[in-house]
Chains A and B, each alone.
Chain A
Amino acid sequence: MSKLSLKDLLFICFCAVLLIAVRAAFRWRLGISGHAMFFTVFFLLLSRSCVSHRLTATLTGFFAGTAAIALGMGKGGPLTLLNFLFPALAIDLGAFLFPPLLGSYPLCALVGAFAGASKFFSAAAIGLLIGMDRTVLWQRAFIEAGAAMAFGCLGALCLPPVVKRLRAYGLFNPSGE
């Protein structure tokens, strides 16, 4: 956090706010369960690819969750943060484990699906906290995570062409650090 310049911090915030804006625009028009993960994964990966810091995606997720609460997007109140933080942590972990992630289609798809699967954990965490029956909890979490994985995978697959173009502009740091 201390190593981030104000410019990088502002860019991360722009990614977070654009993510919220796009989710707001498509929330009512599509009405498909889990489709928000498409935009979430894309913007989290985009910020991770443009700002070289280990916790870029996590910060973006945190800002997106905070902005969602501040802008009245989060109907879950403080619990809204979990919907952004879990995929963000999954992406940062993926970028840490697979350094060439951001330019590779298979790795992006893998990490996107992994980030989508994190919906399972946020749904399960909320279920566990409120004391839901375990079997019902897992079933509900699987229902919510299944579509999120597919959309997360699609969202992640949109990143490599953008990274390719940014690399051509000289704006992409392949080291990731």
Chain B
Amino acid sequence: MFPVFAKLPSSSADGKAASPLLSPGTALTLCFVLSLAAVIAHSASVLLFLSLADGVFLYLCRINRHSLWRAGKIFLWQSTLVTGLYLLRFGVAAGLGPGLLISWKLVLAFTPGLALAQGIPQNGIEKAMARILPQRMAFALSMSIKFLPLLTREIRAVYEAQVLRGARILPRDLWRWRNWSDFFHCLIAPSVVQAMLLAENIAQAARSREFGRYPRRTIWPG
């Protein structure tokens, strides 16, 4: 009954069956460097080299064919749009080459991100992020990710209770605009309150464990 809206990509999803050959930190760094290089590169020879590097990166991240095909469809749409605009602007003779070159650069800029997303386990990326972000921010972000399923369950409980009370918030009811006020008043506002309450509880639990009292002494993640 409750619409499934908090379904995050799982590390066991398709494309992640084989374990990657890179550590998450290395993969994150390589992703950043390769994307940046694709953005600032202008010559075809550099782009060719980057294409080879991206191919190796995809292999090291163990991306499977299904994920590649799914991403390829998005890249195809982007490339068609960009090349089409170039053809409209400059004509076939003058526009085809530059259009394809820019499309190639866009694909190379986005491919490392795809490999990182599909190939590296989420928990590894989270730990790598925790090394980059300040400790307090990394703690808050990681806790919110960890507690998202709990928050979703609480929102689901609110939703079901409100439906039992007669609120018009079923998916079929939301096709009518007049029922959207019920959706905001009966589901969104109480869900915000639940999120605030959960944040307060987590903050209190962290404080009771002396989190943040000594910047160098509190160890997280353990």
Which residues of A line the B interface, CB within 8 A? 5-18, 20-22, 24-26, 46, 50, 63, 66-67, 69-80, 126, 129-133, 135-136, 139-140, 143, 158, 161-162, 165-166, 169, 171
Contacts and interface: CB of A to CB of B under 8 A. Distances in A.
B140 A171 contact: no
A161 B201 CA distance: 26
Contacts of A21: 5-8, 148, 152
What does DSSP make chain A's interface, helix, strand, loop or mixed? helix
Please indicate which of the listed interface residues A8, A16, A50, A131 has the most CB atoms of chain B within 10 Å of its own CB. A131
Nearest to A163: B189
B199 A166 contact: no
A130 B9 contact: no
Contact of B110 (A9, A76, A131): A76
B122 A72 contact: yes
Contacts of A79: 35, 39, 109-110, 113
Given A7-B200, A136-B82, A76 B4 contact: no
Interface in B164-221: 180-181, 184-185, 188-189, 192-193, 195-196, 198-200, 202-203, 206-207, 211-212
A69 B4 contact: no
A70 B89 contact: no
B140 A10 contact: yes
